[in-house]
Amino acid sequence: MLFQVEMVVKLPPDIPAEQTADIKMKEKVYAQELQRQGKWRHLWRVAGSYANVSIFDVTDNAELQDLISSLPLFPYMDIQVKPLCRHPSSIRENDA
């Protein structure tokens, strides 16, 4: 199942810089591993904000919840999820 996930990061202003750097490093490692596995299919930064728009390819809602809630930045995110399905006018034969 494909999902569009919009994530806006809102770190508290009083979080220590060292803690922020550590969380961001862990987030990058985890996100890149999910991309290598094919579960986090696309990742785009939203220009001018600390946010991204992503496409996840997972088995079901529960798997998506597990992946997203395991993100190190999850406690500091506002997240919107939209399930996707193929459009009948698409010229592609698959979702690649």
Helices (H) and strands (E) in the chain, counts: 2, 4
In what order do the strands lie in the sheet containing 51-57?
A: 40-45, 51-57, 2-9, 77-84
Looking at residue 94, what is its pLDDT?
73
Looking at residue 80, what is its pLDDT?
98
- pLDDT tens for the 96 residues of the chain, in order: 999 999 999 999 999 999 999 999 999 999 999 999 999 999 999 999 999 999 999 999 999 999 999 999 999 999 999 999 888 898 887 766
Please tell me the pTM assigned to this model: 0.90
Looking at residue 96, what is its pLDDT?
61
> What's the CATH number of domain 2-84, 3.40.1390.10, 3.40.50.80, 3.30.450.20, 3.30.70.1060?
3.30.70.1060
